[in-house]
Amino acid sequence: MLPSGSCAEKVREHLISTGVGYTLSDHEPAFTAQELAGAEHVPGRMVAKPVILWAGGELVMAVVPATEWIDLDVAAASLLVPAVAMAREDEFSERFPDCERGSEPPFGNLYGMRTLIDVALSITSEMVFPAGSHSRSMRMTTADYMTAAKPEVVRLY
């Protein structure tokens, strides 16, 4: 479990209050989702990569496997909006005050954003993701993640 006062405090509190189990790992700093997969010795398809997008005038968090890139046209069609664009870090980093920049956990719902997950990631058995720090990650069952984050399942690539 995440020690109190560490990164992603909102996630820690939420998981405790909902009774969702997880494991926490410390590792060498990983600045990309693929680096996180290597640090955790798991396939990239198990690593949940949060990406912040502009969709319909609002910031949304899209979660895909580390091995994939979001197709903005596919995402726009899935969300029924005319266009989707990548958000710049300076447009959303303030929403994650308990996280290191670029290490946001895939819980947009806790940071005032709609959370989307790609169909392919939603059917994996387990996932690993940043825990608000470049050197700390969480692992949980995908079923528990779905319960805790309540993401919308859509096609994103």
The DSSP symbol for 3 reads: P
Amino acid at 16: I
Question: Domains, the chain, ranges and CATH?
Answer: 9-149 (3.90.960.10)
What integer pLDDT is reported at residue 123 of this predicted model?
A: 96
Q: What is the DSSP secondary-structure string of 76-124?
A: HHHHT-S-EEEPPHHHHGGG-TTS-TT---S-GGGGT-EEEEEHHHHTS
pTM listed for this prediction? 0.93
What integer pLDDT is reported at residue 4 of this predicted model?
A: 43
Radius of gyration of the CA atoms of the chain, in A: 14
What integer pLDDT is reported at residue 9 of this predicted model?
A: 87
For 23-38, the pLDDT digits (tens) are 999 999 999 999 999 9
Which residue has better confidence, 111 or 9?
Answer: 111
CA-CA distance, 36 to 97, in Å (whole number)?
Answer: 21
What integer pLDDT is reported at residue 7 of this predicted model?
A: 67
The answer on pLDDT for 1 being more than 90 is no
CA-CA distance, 64 to 85, in Å (whole number)?
Answer: 15
For 29-63, the pLDDT digits (tens) are 999 999 999 999 999 999 999 999 999 999 999 99
The phi and psi torsions of 81 (rounded to 5 degrees) equal -125, 155
Measured N-to-C along each axis, helices 9-18 and 142-149 cross at an angle, to the nearest 10 degrees, of 100
For 109-152, the pLDDT digits (tens) are 999 999 999 999 999 999 999 999 999 999 999 999 999 999 99
Mean pLDDT of 55-84: 97
